[in-house]
């Protein structure tokens, strides 16, 4: 009897799969239902954006060296099957059928110019995705999820209100630790949103144990997936529940499989990637006090628009470091420079205003002065400058310096570990050794975490 029921379930699954998959003729590239397109595949998400800092300042020209831009070669189905099998991915995410083929055709045809930019943007964020997803032991192929979610644009926002690389709705984002308030929207933070996405995907996999169902639930919510499974007779297979899912989710998994294919095989379709005009490795630094990006730009000799472009989580140039956890992303070499001059910037704020003004009318200190001093990487020069600005500032600065010196003699000097930091990097920045850091901080190995306080003197 049990065997008979199993056979019936198998036939039901095969029948539903057969009737749910449209034929290749029914789903040509131009006939894809727009309501089944994930946000990252919509034309609006792939239009050139004049305000996109990464595209405009990080990537090379769209048309450079593109000799065969409009020629998409024909390949038999066997070719796609073989290429998908070659991508390291769970078996269920290597499926090829007419629906998947239709989305591959969309990427290789209508969206081929967008693919050029997608590959360029992906290369900037790939290390972030790799590190965080690996920490949660998630399949590397999930790195391509932001392709269909946001077209790899950290400032993307859908009509439904989802935002960021991973397109979190406000409620889901908050449930996974992302702050959304007057100053910041952490859904737009590449690091924090990837961390939240990894946690959410991990939880969904614990529930379903099948990556196609996980992706479906990520898109439309577990409730919709559970209802679709119930309507399909309790069969937990994406292609079986396909006709019972919301329209967009029907296209979500095949679009994802198509995205993994095209990101690994774009050159086979005569698509040339937009390459970086200069190598950029992003690093993060912790901001401990209220500060404005203008001050950081001046002190580190970096364009303000570059800071804004790398930090899309902030709603303005104000960083409320004194009120909440705050980090700022900068190119690695400038992140190190910021760490060297940040105390000087904070002392300037304290000497002149309780707010984050760049300059104060009570003396002649200007943003340019801060930049000149910061470029010397000397706190003593900065202190001298502040002390001579006025008699009032001289007295108050000397008082603060005296208190700081007294405090330092008791407590020593402490720094905050940044993302990607190691004991050797911290030692090099502070003219000490790894052995001394281990002794001062009672650390036996080399493991430290971002945000950890490390005593250096």
The catalytic residues are: 149
Provide CB contacts within 8 A for 260, sequence distance 6+. Answer: 84, 87, 89, 93, 141, 144
Q: Which pair of structure tokens corresponds to residue 37?
A: 């397109």
Give, as one character, the DSSP assignment of residue 330: E
Give, as one character, the DSSP assignment of residue 34: G
CA pair distance 346, 180, nearest whole angstrom: 26
Task: Answer whether 422's CB lies under 8 Å from 448's CB.
Answer: yes
Give, as one character, the DSSP assignment of residue 56: I
Helix (H) or strand (E) holding 175, with range, is helix 170-175
The CA–CA distances, whole Å, from 73 to 63, 66, 276 equal 19, 15, 27
CA pair distance 417, 449, nearest whole angstrom: 7
Alpha-carbon Rg for the chain, nearest whole angstrom, is 27
Identify the bridge partners of residue 163 per DSSP, sorted by sequence position. Answer: 157, 168
Beta strand 290-292 with 318-320: parallel, antiparallel or unpaired? Answer: antiparallel
Give, as one character, the DSSP assignment of residue 362: T
């Amino acid at each position: 009897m049990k065997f008979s029921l199993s056979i019936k379930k198998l036939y039901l699954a095969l029948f539903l799969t057969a009737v749910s998959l449209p034929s290749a003729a029914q789903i040509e590239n131009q006939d894809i239902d727009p309501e089944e397109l994930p946000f990252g595949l919509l034309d609006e998400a792939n239009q050139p954006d004049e305000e996109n800092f990464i595209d405009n300042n990080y990537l090379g020209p769209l048309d450079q060296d593109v000799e065969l831009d409009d020629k998409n070669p024909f390949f038999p189905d066997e070719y796609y099957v073989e290429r998908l099998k070659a991508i390291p991915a769970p078996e269920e995410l290597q499926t090829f059928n007419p629906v998947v083929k239709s989305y591959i055709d969309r990427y290789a045809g209508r969206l081929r110019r967008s693919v050029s930019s997608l590959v360029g943007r992906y290369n900037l964020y790939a290390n972030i995705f790799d590190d965080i997803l690996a920490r949660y032991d998630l399949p590397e192929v999930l790195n391509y999820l932001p392709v269909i979610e946001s077209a790899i644009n950290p400032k993307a926002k859908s009509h439904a209100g989802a935002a960021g690389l991973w397109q979190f709705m406000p409620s889901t984002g908050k449930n996974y630790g992302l702050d959304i308030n007057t100053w910041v929207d952490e859904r737009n933070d590449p690091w924090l949103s990837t961390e939240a996405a990894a946690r959410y995907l991990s939880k969904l996999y614990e529930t379903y144990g099948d990556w196609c169902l996980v992706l479906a639930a990520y898109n439309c919510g577990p409730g919709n997936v559970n209802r679709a499974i119930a309507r399909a007779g309790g069969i937990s297979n994406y292609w079986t529940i396909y006709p019972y899912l919301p329209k967009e989710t029907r296209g979500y998994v095949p679009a994802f499989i198509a995205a993994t294919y095209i990101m690994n095989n774009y050159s086979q379709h005569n698509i040339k990637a937009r390459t970086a005009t200069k190598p950029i490795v992003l690093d993060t630094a912790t901001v401990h006090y209220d500060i404005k990006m203008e001050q950081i730009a001046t002190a580190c000799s970096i364009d303000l628009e570059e800071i804004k472009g790398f930090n899309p989580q902030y709603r303005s140039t104000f960083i409320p470091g004194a009120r909440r956890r705050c980090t700022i992303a900068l190119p690695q070499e400038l992140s190190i420079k910021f760490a060297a001059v940040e105390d000087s910037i904070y002392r300037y704020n304290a000497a002149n205003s309780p707010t984050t003004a760049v300059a104060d009318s009570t003396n002649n200190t200007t943003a340019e002065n801060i930049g000149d001093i910061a470029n010397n990487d000397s706190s003593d020069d900065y202190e001298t400058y502040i002390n001579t600005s006025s008699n009032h500032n001289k007295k108050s600065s000397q008082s603060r310096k005296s208190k700081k010196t007294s405090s330092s003699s008791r407590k020593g000097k402490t720094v905050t570990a940044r993302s990607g930091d190691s004991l050797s990097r911290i030692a090099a920045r502070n003219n000490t050794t790894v052995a001394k850091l281990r002794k001062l901080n009672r650390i036996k190995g080399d493991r430290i975490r971002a945000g950890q306080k490390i005593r250096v003197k």
